[in-house]
Amino acid sequence: MKILRFFVIFFSMTTVLIAPMHAWSQNDSIVDGLVAVVGGNVILKSDIENQYIQIRSQGNITGTAPKLKCQIFENLLLQKLLLHQAQVDSINVTDAQVELEMDRRMRYFISQAGTPERLEEHFGKSLLEIKNELREVIHETMLTEQEQQKITKDISITPAEVKTYYRKLSKDSIPLINSEIEIGMIVKQPEIGDVEKQAVKEKLKGFKDRFAKGDDFSTLAVLYSEDPGSSKQGGELGMFKRGEMRPEFEAAAFKLKPGEVSEIVETEDGFHLIQMIERRGEYINVRHILLQPKVSPVNLNRAKVSLDSVASMIEKKKMTFDQAVVMFSDDPGKNSGGLMINQVSGNSKFESSQVDAKIFFVIDKLKPGEVSAPVMTTDRGKQDYRIYYLKSRSNPHKANLDEDYARIQELALEKKKTAMVDDWIAKKLKSTYISILSDYRNCTFERKWIKN
């Protein structure tokens, strides 16, 4: 197992938290016992069994059960080694940071379950009980994440090292690059009229009056809020600090007292009513009701006609796509030349499987250099029109330094980081107290965890 790859898997949200939680709901009667001690941190038999149950329930088992449990155990040993070193290095994670991460992950779990009630039903525990059982897990995870980042944070790689890495690859080791495309877009956001804005404001005024007369704010949010991410949770957003929300939203929210409701707040997302739930140091937790004014059919059609003209000018070569982006696009991300950025790789190249199906359906019909007809889209409840531009389309090929330098650089850097982590582990194994008990001493490990 590649140690660096383990870091990526281990520190993912679903592996660290969902696995133990799912296991708790499956089997609470696992016979427990001490299996290992790393520094001052213990590994229990139930830690291994819980993760094994999760993997088995997903049908991901390859090889024998004992072998898989040994692999899980070694991963846990590495986790505890990182945790021990984080404690030695006095890495600090505050309660506020833990609560913020807790809220973020709980929102994810609830979205996966559908409703808070379904999540509680699945685990047979209240949300409060789930949070209490996960709090220490999250605290340890955040410590080990910071320690892992500390090990590799100063590693960089030079162009010469990238070239050397590539030249040393055997022919069979050179990665195959699938067909990739680069996509640009020009966005035209229709103007929202004063009549539509006023209608939304009147609705929110009505909600505030109902709250003043005794209606529950969270119930109103469930029934009427147009924020899909929070409406099911009664409009609750979870703990956040300044700099994480829209400036206008934060300016109003941080002025509130617990239980107090704001005046109507306008942001680029729409219009809000905000209720303060609690303040904890630099963090606050609020509920909100979001309403978004609807674009009139007339203004929506004007946006389409405008982009029709832009597409025609590009096709007739009266202007380049880059020039049209600067002059006409309402997309906040147009500073990248209108190119869509792949959030996985950080560059502008996408494999077909990474592109939204609706966009790919449009792009697949284009040749490089062509633009599409205007397409209406709905993003976060807002309607707009877009034209898409196919900048390039590559054929599948073996990676080379001319076309795929960034990809090869990433692989070379990963190898260098892996070597650094290997050295770190070897060093810490010599200086850290490690005791492995019971049958797990018979595991075949990749590292020398047993010293005698």
Q: Are residues 112 and 257 in the same domain?
A: no
* Whole-prediction pTM: 0.63
- In order, the DSSP letters of 324-355 are HHHHH---TTGGGTTB---TTTSSSEEEGGGS
CATH number at residue 143: 1.10.4030
Shared domain check, 37 and 115: yes
Q: What is the pLDDT of residue 262?
A: 96
Nearest to 33 by CA among 440, 443, 442: 440
Q: In order along the chain (452 residues), what is the average pLDDT of each group of 10 residues?
A: 36 38 40 84 90 77 79 93 94 88 82 76 84 89 92 93 95 92 94 92 96 95 91 88 90 95 94 94 90 92 95 94 94 84 86 92 94 89 91 94 91 93 92 88 89 70
Contact 191, 437 (CB under 8 A): no
Classify residue 385: in a domain, yes or no. yes
Structure tokens at 379: 């993003």
For position 331, which CATH number holds? 3.10.50.40
- The range of the structural domain enclosing residue 384 comes to 179-190+296-395
User: Can you tell me the distance from the alpha carbon of 435 to that of 437, in angstroms, rounded to the nearest whole number?
Assistant: 7
Does residue 167 lie in a domain region? no
Q: Please indicate, yes or no, whether residues 229 and 320 belong to a single structural domain of this protein.
A: no
Enter the tokens of residue 210: 């109902």
229 token code pair: 């991410």
The dihedral formed by the CA atoms of 332, 333, 337 and 341, expressed in degrees to the nearest 10:
-160
Sequence-distant (≥ 6) Cβ neighbours of residue 293 within 8 angstroms: 192, 193, 196, 197, 199, 200, 270, 271
The predicted-structure confidence for 13-31, as pLDDT tens digits, reads as follows 333 333 344 433 434 444 4
Per-residue model confidence (pLDDT) at position 87: 94
Residue 135 lies in a domain: yes
Q: For residues 210 and 355, state if they share a domain.
A: no
Inter-CA distances, 22 with 15, 26, 51, 104, Å = 11, 6, 9, 18
Task: Report if residue 168 sits inside a domain.
Answer: no
Quote the pLDDT of residue 51.
87
245 and 107 fall within a common domain: no
Q: Are 160 and 408 in contact (CB under 8 A)?
A: no
Residues 336 and 433 reside in one and the same domain: no
248 and 264 in a single domain? The answer is: yes
Domain termination site, one of 242, 274, 291: 291
The answer to the question of residue 164 being in a domain is no
Q: What is the pLDDT of residues 228-239, one digit of tens each?
A: 878 888 999 888
Domain boundary among 251, 269, 291: 291
Q: In what order do the strands lie in the sheet with 180-188?
A: 349-351, 180-188, 382-393, 375-379
> Of 291, 320, 350, which closes a domain?
291
